[in-house]
Amino acid sequence: MERIIFYILAFVIIAFAVASVNSRRMLRSVVYLAFVLISIAGFFFLIDYNLLAAIQLTVYAGGIIVLIIFSVLLVHHIEMRLEMASIAKRITTAVLCLVGMGVFIYTIHSFEFEMVENTKSTTTQDIGDRLLSYGDGGFILPFEVISILLLAAMIGAIVIAKGTKLMDKNS
């Protein structure tokens, strides 16, 4: 059963990824991309890593895709079509993609994967403990660095949005 679902998801991801690149209507390719991202969340559900699946849904499908749709809505008219690339460009891209795929497949096949009998699903508590632990294998430093980065980004966004108004008050 899991094997069948895996193959369905893999097929959906590949089909929609190709469709997303090939579509000449911008919003359609965004929607195909959304399908790819949602199917990846499906993979995470399949390996019973629910937290990551929900994060994938919130951040990618709910956040990034909605932002992209917004920008398309603002700049793109419904009758516009994207330009076709020239043949030389297309051939170069195809060759590069094939080379990249070859490298990936070679690496994956030459790596010795270990089979892990994992029947326990990761709980949020484990992840939280690990994120805040400063012992061996703890992630407190990256966690704090990311918090500071996000804070800086937020303040930066406010400063940019306020624009000249903020500058006038300070001077």
Interior CA angle at 15 toward 14 and 20, to 5°? Answer: 95
Evaluate whether 25 touches 57 at the Cβ level (below 8 Å).
no
* Shortest separation between residue 65's beta carbon and other proteins, angstroms: 6
Distances (CA, A) of 70 to 25, 82, 104: 15, 18, 34
Q: Which is nearer to other proteins, 2 or 114 (CB)?
A: 2
Would you state the structure tokens that stand for residue 72, as one six-digit string? 């398309």
Q: Give the nearest distance from C-beta 48 to other proteins in angstroms.
A: 9
Q: Closest CB to other proteins among 13 and 29?
A: 29
Which of 57, 61, 63 is closest to 44 using CA atoms? 57
Residues near other proteins (CB under 8 A): 1, 25, 27-28, 31, 34, 38, 50-51, 54-55, 57-58, 61-63, 65-66, 69-70, 72-73, 78-79, 121, 123-125
Given the complex with other proteins, which of 97 and 158 has the nearer CB atom? 158
Measure the CA–CA gap between 100 and 11, rounded to whole angstroms.
Answer: 19
b/e per residue 107-144 (b: at least 16 CB within 10 A): eeeeeeeeeeeeeeeeeeeeeeeeeeeeeeeeeeeeee
Residue whose CB is less far from other proteins, 15 or 69: 69
Minimum CB distance to other proteins, residue 140 (Å):
19
Specify the residue, 15 or 31, whose C-beta has the smaller distance to other proteins: 31
